[in-house]
């Protein structure tokens, strides 16, 4: 197991450069297999999810050249093999190989475990869409066999603006016969990143970033190239750290347009920021106003940011609330924040946070990726030493975490124990 040890309450100054977006990279790598030639993907984040996806590419016989952060893939000798349990159970985004293999070979066999600590996270919208495109789906002990004699376009209406379903159905539709329209599609920037990538190969996708996406199927996809967009969730995590302990901390390589909702909440509580076109300089204050946040689909306040943001709310004067509307349970970090001195009353969907409270270091455990990120934020603010167990969760989504934070003055170390 890995742990993160932090000696907190050190002022952080200097520059942190945001990496490529995890939630783009984990979709772009499976999307690449639709290509009939070679692709180049730049700005790949150095996170464990990336390496878990490389293991899947290997069994598919995809030739890979990874010279950080540039990934080159040769798809000419790809083989359609089963994406087995040991490979796909490492990350949920392995479900993108369903749409990609179905789109490429008209057949996909992918082991896919349901659920995780933030919720049951079914994939019924994905499956319903594949079926509307003419696929049959057999599920046996979490193994999905999806195949279509004739994979054709369809008119698909998503009951909920699901990011994963939107991406997976784009992957399946890119080479289907005819036209697919996805109504009530998710609008996240990562979806635009995937569409841009596929269009660079000659795909015909329009409307990505809006609630209506049209895909005209094509037969062949030539050489493609794309750059992974900056990670908006990592951006916000470091801005929150800056609001907690920053001293002119510069968060660089950001796209302000992607973070408007959470940025407006930071401004509401009174953060001290200087915004330039691709970076923000932020300094900590100790008189923040309370506020309420409600998580929504993009462009609303992102559910992935609510957990780190709740640490900042422990430093705001008065009562703040967090209303989680996307998942069943994103409160895994709350008992540990209270152990560190916070005053949070919560249930699975809501938290009531009374501040400001002094945080002190403690032994805590990461229950999921963003809960772990929240505990890193709390540890950097707290007086004394914090040890975060099950740190692997955090390393899935935050590349070069120790280097980035040490370079700006944090006392942080990632260690392997037992
Ligand atoms: C993506 O998950 C992200 N993951 C999540 O980030 C993010 O929180 C989420 O989008 C919402 O923005 C990746 O992109 C790899 P959804 P995804 O499909 O695609 C329900 C992180 O920390 N649902 O929009 O799984 C589902 O249960 C992760 O980086 C169905 O019911 O999200 C959930 O309650 C966490 N049926 C809600 O919709 C379906 O078929 C949102 O799911 C699909 C989803």
- Average pLDDT value for residue range 187-209: 98
| Cα 83 from Cα 283, distance rounded (Å) | 46
Number of C-alpha atoms within 13 angstroms, CB side, residue 217? 18
Architecture of the domain whose range is 22-227? Alpha-beta prism (3.65)
Residue 121 pLDDT exceeds 90: no
| Cα 100 from Cα 73, distance rounded (Å) | 15
CB 376, CB 401: distance < 8 Å: yes
Write down the pLDDT at residue 118.
84
Write down the pLDDT at residue 42.
98
Question: What's domain 2-19+230-416's superfamily in CATH?
Answer: Enolpyruvate transferase domain (3.65.10.10)
- Higher-pLDDT residue of 183 and 118 is 183
Residue 114 pLDDT exceeds 90: no
pLDDT grade, residue 38 (50/70/90)? very high
Q: Give the atom of ligand 1 at the shortest distance from the alpha carbon of 91.
A: 15
| Cα 354 from Cα 27, distance rounded (Å) | 38
Write down the pLDDT at residue 225.
98
Residue 96: name the closest of 163, 141, 31 by CA. 31
Ligand 1 atom 42: residue of nearest CA: 162
Write down the pLDDT at residue 234.
98
Domains 2-19+230-416 and 22-227 share a fold: yes
Q: Which of 35, 116, 316, 377 is catalytic?
A: 116
Cis before 299 (ω within 30): yes
Residue 197 pLDDT exceeds 90: yes
pLDDT grade, residue 120 (50/70/90)? confident
Number of CB atoms found within 10 A of residue 384's CB:
14
Query: Using one digit for the tens of pLDDT, what is the confidence trace for 219-256?
Result: 999 999 999 999 999 999 999 999 999 999 999 999 99
Handedness of CA 401, 406, 410, 415 (dihedral sign): positive
Query: Using one digit for the tens of pLDDT, what is the confidence trace for 160-188?
Result: 999 999 999 999 999 999 999 999 999 99
Q: What is the mean pLDDT of the chain?
A: 97
User: pLDDT > 90: what percent of the chain?
Assistant: 94
Write down the pLDDT at residue 418.
81
Residue 116 pLDDT exceeds 80: no
Main-chain phi, psi angles of 36, to 5 degrees: -95, 0
Write down the pLDDT at residue 84.
87
| Cα 38 from Cα 76, distance rounded (Å) | 7
Separation of 132 CA from ligand 1 center, angstroms? 21
Write down the pLDDT at residue 117.
80
Provide DSSP, 225-283: EEEPPB-HHHHHHHHHHHHHHEEEEEEES--GGGGHHHHHHHHHHT-EEEE-SSEEEEE
| Cα 235 from Cα 229, distance rounded (Å) | 11
Separation of 92 CA from ligand 1 center, angstroms? 9
Q: Give the atom of ligand 1 at the shortest distance from the alpha carbon of 119.
A: 27
Does any ligand 1 atom lie closer than 6 A to the CB of residue 119?
yes
Does any ligand 1 atom lie closer than 6 A to the CB of residue 123?
yes
Distance of CA 242 to the CA centre of its chain: 21
Residues in contact with 233: Cβ distance below 8 Å, sequence separation at least 6, in sequence order = 21, 22, 23, 302, 304, 305, 370, 397
Q: Active-site residue 35, yes or no?
A: no
| Cα 372 from Cα 386, distance rounded (Å) | 12
Look-up of token digits 């390393």: 395
Q: Give the atom of ligand 1 at the shortest distance from the alpha carbon of 92.
A: 15
Number of CB atoms found within 10 A of residue 108's CB:
26
Query: Using one digit for the tens of pLDDT, what is the confidence trace for 295-343?
Result: 999 999 999 999 999 999 999 999 999 999 999 999 999 999 999 999 9
Residue 97 pLDDT exceeds 90: yes
Per-residue burial over 167-205, b if 16 or more Cβ lie within 10 Å, else e, is: bbbbbbbbbbeeebbbebbbbbbbbbbbbbbbbbbbbeb
Residue 358 pLDDT exceeds 80: yes
| Cα 338 from Cα 361, distance rounded (Å) | 11
pLDDT grade, residue 352 (50/70/90)? very high
Query: Using one digit for the tens of pLDDT, what is the confidence trace for 259-278?
Result: 999 999 999 999 999 999 99
Residue 203 pLDDT exceeds 90: yes
Domains in the chain: boundaries: 2-19+230-416, 22-227
Ramachandran area for residue 264 (φ above 0: left; ψ -120 to 50: alpha; else beta): alpha
Residues in contact with 184: Cβ distance below 8 Å, sequence separation at least 6, in sequence order = 157, 158, 159, 160, 161, 211
């Amino acid at each position: 197991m890995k742990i993160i040890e932090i000696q907190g309450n050190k002022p952080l100054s200097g520059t942190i450069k945001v990496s490529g977006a995890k939630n783009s990279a984990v979709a772009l790598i499976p999307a690449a297999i639709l290509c009939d030639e070679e692709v180049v993907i730049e700005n790949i984040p150095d996170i464990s999810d990336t390496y878990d996806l490389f293991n899947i590419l290997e069994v598919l016989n995809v030739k890979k050249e990874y010279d950080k952060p540039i990934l080159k893939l040769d798809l000419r000798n790809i083989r359609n093999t089963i994406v087995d349990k040991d490979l796909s159970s490492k990350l949920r985004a392995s479900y993108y190989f369903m749409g990609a293999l179905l789109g490429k070979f008209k057949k996909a066999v992918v082991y896919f475990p349901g659920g995780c600590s933030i919720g049951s996270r079914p994939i019924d919208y994905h499956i319903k869409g594949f079926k509307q495109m003419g696929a049959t789906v057999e599920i046996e002990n979490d193994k999905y066999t999806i195949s279509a004699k004739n994979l054709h376009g369809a008119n698909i209406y998503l009951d909920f603006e699901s990011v994963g379903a939107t991406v997976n159905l784009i992957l399946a539709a890119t080479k289907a016969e005819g036209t697919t329209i996805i109504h009530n599609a998710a609008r996240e920037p990562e979806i635009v990143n995937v569409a841009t990538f596929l269009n660079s190969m000659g795909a015909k996708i329009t409307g990505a970033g809006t609630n209506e996406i049209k895909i005209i199927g094509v037969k062949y996809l030539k050489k493609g190239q794309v750059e992974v967009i900056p990670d908006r969730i990592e951006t916000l995590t470091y801005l929150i750290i800056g609001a907690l302990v920053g001293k002119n901390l510069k968060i660089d390589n950001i796209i302000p347009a992607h973070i408007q909702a959470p940025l407006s909440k930071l401004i509401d509580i009174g953060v001290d920021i200087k915004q330039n076109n691709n970076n923000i300089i932020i300094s900590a204050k100790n008189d923040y106003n309370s506020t309420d946040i409600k998580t929504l689909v993009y462009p609303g306040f992102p559910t992935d940011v609510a957990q780190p943001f709740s640490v900042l709310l422990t430093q705001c004067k008065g009562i703040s609330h967090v209303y989680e509307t996307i998942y069943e349970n994103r409160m895994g970090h709350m008992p540990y924040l209270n152990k560190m001195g916070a005053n949070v009353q919560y249930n699975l969907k809501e938290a009531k946070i009374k501040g400001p409270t002094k945080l002190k270091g403690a032994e805590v455990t990461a229950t999921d990726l963003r809960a772990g990120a929240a505990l890193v934020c709390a540890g950097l603010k707290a007086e004394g030493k914090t040890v975060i167990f099950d740190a692997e969760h955090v390393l899935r989504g935050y590349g070069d975490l120790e280097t980035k934070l040490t370079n700006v003055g944090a006392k942080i170390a990632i260690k392997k124990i037992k």
